[in-house]
Amino acid sequence: MMEGIINLSNGVSYTGHWHGEKTECSGEMIFYTGMGNLLEFISDPAVKGKIVLATYPNILNCYIDQEKLESDDIQIAGLVIQQEYGEFSVSMKKWLTVFKEKCIPVMTGMDTRSIIKQLLKVGEVPITMKANVGDLISSAKQVKELSTSTYKTINSNGKTHVVLIDFFVKNSLIKWLIKSDYKITIVPAEVTAEKVKALKPDGIVFSGGTGNPSSYKNCYPEYREIAKEYPTMAFGLGHQILAEAFGAHVEKMKWGHRNFKHPIIHVESKEVYMSNQNHCYSVLEEGLEATGFIVSYQSIQDKSIEGLSHKIYPITTYQFHPDGKNPKLEKIIICAFSNQVKQAKGVNIYA
């Protein structure tokens, strides 16, 4: 069994069992505390290029279901887990085969408790992860770009037409919109307001994605014009981008929210929901009033902003993601957007 080593940016190192080619990779290490939903998590565009520390000891003892992929491929750069080599199940062996085929290194037998304590001190930091051998024979997987550069229409017979601005959209968001009978036109992140208007949509959706929202700063004037013109909802990275486009401040969190059951509270009703989250940037409440946005949802754990609504324009944004697994919360979201679309068309809405 080959030995592998990871080096944190603060100089702390850990060794374990290396699985895969004799490679080396680097990336930001994040931790995932979920007991399931692994395939959804590691194929989520939000974890593109990350090295994932999974805290649940038997995380690979699960089936591989291609229907659960959130993108066309697994997006992580590496995986670190506690499971030992001698404990391999049939499903774990299949997982390791898949990772090897995709040139994604895996380290087992790791002291995940100790590593996560380090991450809680220093935050989600860049690390290196490599096989502890003399000569490395290849480079680890290079993750391809995920966003679209073309226009694509899905569910063309849907009764309501939305333009989906693609910042690396998740498959579950598309499925969720189709389930609500939306015709979806997916457009590139660099789309202009003029091109959106030419599509004559009923509403706009800003997708989630990966990276720093400020990377799209050059497009903010276009996004503001689009959002002011049409009923708009945004998720994940799209929520951060739209908030920042209107003047809000966004900062990188020490460690992100990465779970399928993150508790949030609706500020007005005080109702609590479990939400699907995978992000490391957060919209700040400081200076928010000047943007016209008010807080609609907050995290119960750290009081960070989980949702916004605009006082003037029909804009609602959410830090969490709809995935078809939280019917009550997702019905509230889709009904609010549907009512905004109807009102924009001049339809009277009655309580």
CATH classification at residue 251:
3.40.50.880
Number of domains the chain contains: 2
Same-domain pairing of 100 and 210: no
Is residue 144 included in any domain, yes or no?
Answer: no
CATH classification at residue 94:
3.50.30.20
> What is the model's pTM?
0.91
Interatomic CA distance for residues 235 and 329, integer angstroms? 14
Average pLDDT score over residue span 132-161: 74
Interatomic CA distance for residues 351 and 340, integer angstroms? 14
Same-domain pairing of 287 and 329: yes
Same-domain pairing of 110 and 180: no
Interatomic CA distance for residues 130 and 110, integer angstroms? 14
- Collapsed DSSP state (helix, strand, coil) of residue 80: strand
DSSP-derived secondary structure letter, 219: G
Interatomic CA distance for residues 235 and 317, integer angstroms? 6
DSSP calls for 120-138: HHH-S-EEEEEE-SS---S
pLDDT digits (tens, 9 = 90+) for 31-86: 998 888 999 999 999 999 999 999 988 888 888 888 899 999 999 999 999 887 66
Is residue 285 included in any domain, yes or no?
Answer: yes
Same-domain pairing of 320 and 204: yes
Is residue 351 included in any domain, yes or no?
Answer: no
Is residue 136 included in any domain, yes or no?
Answer: no
- Maximal CA-CA distance, the chain: 72
Interatomic CA distance for residues 213 and 94, integer angstroms? 36
For 158, the domain range is 152-344
74, 43 contact by CB (below 8 A): yes
Among the candidates 77, 98, 131, a domain finishes at: 131
Average pLDDT score over residue span 100-126: 91
- φ/ψ of 338, rounded to 5, equals -60, -40
Q: What is the pLDDT of residue 250?
A: 97
Same-domain pairing of 118 and 256: no
pLDDT digits (tens, 9 = 90+) for 3-36: 999 998 888 999 999 998 888 889 999 999 888 8
Same-domain pairing of 123 and 247: no
Same-domain pairing of 207 and 301: yes
